[in-house]
Amino acid sequence: MLGVLFVGLNGAVANTVITGINSSINFKENTFLPPTINNNYTDQELKSFGSIVKTEYFKEIDFINEEEFVIGGWDVFYENAFNIAKYHRIVPFEYYYNSKEKLEKIYPFKGLVNSWDSFEAINSQYNINMSSLKNFMEAVDIVRKNIDDFRKNNNLKDVVVVYLALPLKGIKKLEELYNISYKDLSKLSPDYLPSSCAYAIGSILEGCSFIDFTPNLTLSIPFIEDLSVDYGVPLAGMDGNTGQTLLKTLIAPMLKLRNFKLIGWYSTNILGNNDGKILSRDEHRQLKMEDKLSVLEPILGYSDFEHVVEINYYKPRYDNKEAWDNIDFMGYLGLPMSFKINWIGRDSILAAPLVIDLIKHLDFSKRNGFKGIQEHLAICFKHPIKSRYNNILKELNLPIKTYKDKLVLSFFDAFNLLYSFYKKFSKVRT
């Protein structure tokens, strides 16, 4: 069994993972698809859609099964997983109602908040406001105790921590945090670093793998990877790549290889869940926008084009995200052309299988002695962080570029990196 602790346990993505794993699906009674669609899929086949590790390319790798996950976590809203699933209404009720008894037992620890968090989180009645603590290290110690209690109560050996909380404010630039060290934590005020860092540091000190699926500074702060290498802990991040930016990593290489000159790319998103609400605020959206805007130039190799990205909060859509893209380009004789994409996706349904995959990847990495930033997982992120320790790219002899602190990859380059890693380094699970 493997412990899994979600930061943001009652959020849409974490709850979709929980209810999805605990779903029992009779697809023949599915009312969501027209009768012309094949309905002979098994429960396991339906749960495999969206998962990279369940494709034929990785069938020989002995990943842990998600049915072996023991799930808990933190949140700033106190409710059990069953009632939260009914609130979100993302996974159909008939899929998970038979797991009611199990889901009703999943409640969160109190979430940590500081000035980097959203107004809603700070003003929640179920949180630990770090301003009441003496220093940042006290928050780390709270996380460590929660992990230790969860591990002991469930008789677990290993735990993976996944950060899925709402995007934090951009109070400080990364450069301002570059020279912080682990020894400074007992001297720093509880608001000096993002609250997400308390979870990352606490996880590492407890020997737990850590995934940041959000656009936060956490794993880019150098001492955090230093600490993970010292403690033999693998990390993965940041900012899950599930929709519009994923498409850009597919289309940009086509434009480059076909030798079409990009003139402009206009992207807009409408989203009505809490993620959309928070990202509509300027103080929370900075890193997300940087991640979305920085993908084209490194792949294309030039920057003389217009690139606009908008994120709009639109309540009627809730978790059903819609993205529009207009791509203007120049072809033979310099004559202009364009094409348009309308992406209509279920935000958490896109993200959940990728989160499950990442948990399996980091469990594999931990069992096989890999530590620090796991660069081979770049396919999962908008901002795949480059490790300052690992030489996976060199060992695999892959010509992948870097841009600032991130790896620059098309979707196919990223898949090749992942496939090449497992082809070379896979071992039988012990």
C-alpha distances in angstroms, 374 versus 127, 228, 233? Answer: 31, 11, 10
Q: Kindly report the number of other CB atoms within 10 A of residue 352's CB atom.
A: 26
How far is 279 from 269, CA to CA, in rounded Å? 11
State whether residue 74 is helix, strand or coil.
Answer: strand
Name the β-bridge partners of 4: 71, 160
Tens digit of pLDDT at every position of the chain (430 positions)? 999 999 999 999 999 999 999 998 765 566 666 666 777 788 888 899 999 999 999 989 999 999 999 999 999 999 999 999 999 999 999 899 999 999 999 999 999 999 998 889 999 999 999 999 999 999 999 999 999 999 999 999 999 999 999 888 888 888 889 899 999 999 999 999 999 999 999 999 999 999 999 998 899 999 999 999 999 999 999 999 988 889 999 999 999 999 999 999 999 989 888 777 777 777 777 777 777 778 899 889 999 999 999 888 888 888 998 999 999 999 999 999 999 999 999 999 999 999 999 999 999 999 999 999 999 999 999 999 999 887 777 778 777 777 778 888 889 999 999 999 999 887 544 4
| Residues 6+ positions from 261 with CB-CB distance below 8 Å | 255, 329, 330
Buried b (16+ CB within 10 A) or exposed e, 112-135: bbbbbbbeebbebeebbbbeebeb
State residue 386's pLDDT score: 92
Burial of residue 415 (CB within 10 Å: 0-12, 13-18, 19+) is middle
Give the pTM.
Answer: 0.94
Q: In three state form, how does the secondary structure of 208-228 look?
A: CEEEECCCCCHHHCHHHHHHH
Cα radius of gyration (the chain):
21
> Which residue segments constitute the domains of the chain, with CATH numbers given?
2-240+349-425 (3.40.50.720), 244-346 (3.30.360.10)
Overall residue count recorded for the chain in this entry: 430
How far is 418 from 346, CA to CA, in rounded Å? 25
Which residue, chain included where needed, has tokens 């978790």? 319
